[in-house]
Chains A and B, each alone.
Chain A
Amino acid sequence: MEFEFKRERLVLHAGGQKWEWRIEPRYWRNPLIYIGILIAAPVIVYFIYPPLLPTIIEANLLAAIAIPLALMTMSTGRMNFGPQFYIGIGGYTAALLSIHFHLNPGLTMVAAALGGLVFGFLMSPLAIISGGLYYSLLTLLFPLLFIEATLIFSDLFKGDTGLSGIAPLVSTGIFSLNLLIYAFISLAIMLVYLFAIDKIFRSRYAIQMAAINDDEEVASSIGVNVNKVKILGFTIAATLVAVVGWFYAHYYQAFSGQVFLPLSFMLKIFMVTMLGGRTQIYGCVIGGYFIAFLEMILIRTTGDMSPVLFPIILLILLLVLPEGLFGLYRKRHYREYMPTLRFRR
């Protein structure tokens, strides 16, 4: 048996027979390859080094937040700096219903999604009435107000310590097996978001969003109902992010606004979005894994210094890669990705 590499073909000679495989880069773009890798990774990690499973779960969840955020950014033409607000909505809804009413996780998920939907819809007019810096500041403000609310109404939200005693999603009795199942659930959430939003980004709605991103006034003058697109995009994205909050609550079996609502968590999501490439949903997956693993490595190697080093490394990366990791690819293939984002100044 002999392998031979010639002219972008891998040739296998065995037993007098010959098999050839083309290894041209265009075949590498088959999404099934990457889905296969993402599915295989938790299984491999489970057998080799189970303590790495929480990092994979975190990576999937970061990507699952950044992907709807890309939809929100695309459809409104503005960057939301407070997506963690909807994690708070979803997480607290699930936690309160699970603790006080003993609802099962299926029902709490529906309730969390509804919570995200209602709050998303109520806050979506922000994307119409404000723009640029004002929109960013307003969206930044809401999670911080939510933290204050959790402290003021500490009877309900249990203040700093947060709510605990939430029913788990899975309980097999084996800790590492639980983690493996959580990893698959988080991966399923992320992949469903990825393909649903990919479908939207390839549809007629994407071209509306691209037009809104470029020039709202002109888009409106040629018949695009700008407000409808903004409200729909904002509300759908908020609902999807709230479901991630639901997952966090049932995964940790505890939920505290002090963990998910502060700016440090927003920074992580923001970095996933920026490093992956703004509005590039496939880039969000790369960004999610990159950030989750970078954070884990820094915590293990530098300990107490990691909260300082983490943002510094990310800032350097942002300077070196202004269009994110996916931007490196997009630079050479810009016409393949029709809707791109141009920020409002």
Chain B
Amino acid sequence: MSWTSLLLLAGGAYAFKVLGLVAIGDRPLPRLVTSCLDLLPAALVAALIAINTVAIGQRLVLDARVVGLVVAGVAVWRKAPFFVVVVLGAVSTAAWRRWVGV
């Protein structure tokens, strides 16, 4: 990969980030738009969870990550701190891979 294409990629990636951030600016927005914007993180974070749990590239795969997510879900439900949720998710996934496989 040449320096030129590396810089093109960097410029393109930055353009996406900056466009979303400054597109709206300080303009006041109609109520319907803000109520959609408020829900944007819910949709995106949930999509991230789903993709990170069941997708490998374009393939849908059920593997040890599902176990980790379920354990993390129980931890969230029991109001465990962030740190505990993440560690339990990782450790249970590693344990499942090690001893059960998949």
- The finding on whether chains A and B are genuine partners in a shared complex, rather than unrelated, reads no
Chain B interface (Cβ < 8 Å from any Cβ of A): none
